[in-house]
């Protein structure tokens, strides 16, 4: 089967989603499928065309996600003509992939990572016009006539159906991680109590709540430290975080680490006393699952798929406020954990489910 993946980001861009699709594409190529990845040029040092572990990779000149959305379709169509099936993801790759599939009369499936709906209007850092535009963009995508929608959790599956996607078109495939890469970690021992946030910068991630809670935690937990493991991009968002840290007088309370190699990231997370995930919503949450794999307990907002996905030791915030977050971290300091029987999300299971989906499409 000739498969074309249209993805906003791909290796060497690093993240949970990118790792998943790299393993998926390479597993499909290893079993004999002809696999091409069409992606953005966000990593400017990466080759425009290359073959990696049997996967052909084509990177466009567009580094900006919105330019990729609206202009990459012209370069995409020649590759769409040659494939049997197209697979894409929400958000920014979905529109060029759908147009190319329509133009070339190809079947197409989409993985939906999250669906926010009216949550857009309640997120921090969003203007009213920005929230309206993002909400409309999301609504356009779910109304495009994809053949199948892959939801990464039951929460996301139910949201898609609630917002009008026919249930017969929706299949739930949990994201997965390679657990063998989370073994034999050397923690970096640190004094005091460390609570950690790691992941991308985004309006839904609850960083505003975390920073507003930090002065309370600093006051009430002696020798505590907030470890922020974040990228410096988007630069405007990073500047906003830096400004909040200064305004809240948190420079001596926060250790910021940027763009860590994977081994160092795992060591930093595993050496933390707790990982904090105060998100306004999560469609799945790789950070939570990775922290669970490293044996680090969690403080969570409980929003979106977090109640569904998170197991082991955790503390759920009582509500979505800085005060509730500070209280939950103090409970973590006193080891007042809630507990669910641990669950794992093996990458092999995810790959097998996608392979079965593509086999079904090929046979139809």
Domains of the chain in start order, with CATH, are 2-176+346-363 (3.40.50.2000), 180-340 (3.40.50.2000)
Q: Please state the pTM of the whole predicted model.
A: 0.94
Per the DSSP assignment, residues forming a β-bridge with 57 are 37, 50
Contact 144, 99 (CB under 8 A): no
Question: Residue holding tokens 């939950």?
Answer: 328
The pLDDT value given to residue 239 = 95
Which sign does the torsion angle of CA 130, 132, 133, 134 carry?
Answer: positive
Q: Contact, 188 vs 300, CB < 8 A?
A: no
Q: Which residues of the chain have pLDDT under 50?
A: none
The DSSP H or E segment spanning 37 is: strand 34-39
In whole angstroms, give the CA distance from residue 320 to residue 90: 26
Structure tokens at 188: 């970096």
Residue 101 tokens read as 């599939």
What's the pLDDT score for residue 293? 96
The pLDDT value given to residue 245 = 97
* pLDDT at site 362: 92
């Amino acid at each position: 089967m000739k498969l074309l993946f249209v993805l906003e980001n791909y290796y060497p861009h690093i993240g949970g989603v990118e790792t998943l699709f790299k393993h998926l594409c390479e597993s499909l190529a290893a079993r004999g499928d002809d696999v091409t990845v069409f992606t953005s040029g966000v990593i400017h040092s990466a080759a425009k065309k290359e073959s990696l572990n049997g996967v052909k990779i084509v990177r466009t000149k567009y580094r900006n996600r919105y330019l990729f959305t609206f202009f990459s379709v012209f370069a995409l169509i020649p590759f769409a003509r040659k494939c049997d099936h197209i697979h894409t993801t929400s958000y920014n790759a979905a529109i060029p992939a759908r147009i190319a599939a329509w133009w070339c009369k190809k079947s197409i499936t989409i993985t939906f990572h999250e669906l926010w709906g009216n949550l857009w209007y309640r997120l921090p850092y969003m203007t009213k016009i920005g929230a309206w535009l993002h909400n409309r963009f999301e609504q356009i995508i779910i109304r495009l006539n994809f053949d199948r929608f892959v939801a990464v959790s039951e929460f996301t599956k139910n949201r898609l159906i609630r917002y009008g996607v026919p249930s017969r078109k929706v299949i739930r495939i949990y994201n997965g991680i390679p657990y063998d890469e989370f073994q034999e970690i050397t923690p970096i021992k640190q004094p005091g109590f460390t609570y950690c946030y790691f992941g991308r910068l985004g309006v839904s991630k609850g960083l505003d709540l975390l920073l507003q809670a930090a002065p309370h935690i600093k006051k009430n937990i002696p020798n505590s430290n907030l470890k922020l493991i974040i990228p410096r991009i988007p630069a405007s968002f990073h500047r906003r975080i830096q400004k909040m840290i200064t305004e809240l007088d948190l420079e001596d309370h926060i250790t910021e680490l940027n763009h860590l190699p994977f081994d160092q990231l795992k060591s930093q997370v595993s050496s933390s006393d707790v990982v904090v995930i105060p998100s306004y919503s999560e469609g799945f949450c790789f950070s939570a699952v990775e922290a669970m794999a490293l044996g680090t307990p969690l403080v969570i907002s409980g929003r979106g798929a977090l109640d569904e996905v998170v197991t082991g030791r955790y503390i759920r915030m009582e509500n979505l406020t800085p005060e509730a977050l500070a209280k939950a971290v103090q409970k973590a300091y006193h080891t007042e954990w809630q507990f669910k029987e641990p669950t794992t999300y093996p990458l092999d299971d995810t790959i097998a489910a996608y392979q079965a989906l593509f086999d079904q499409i090929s046979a139809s």
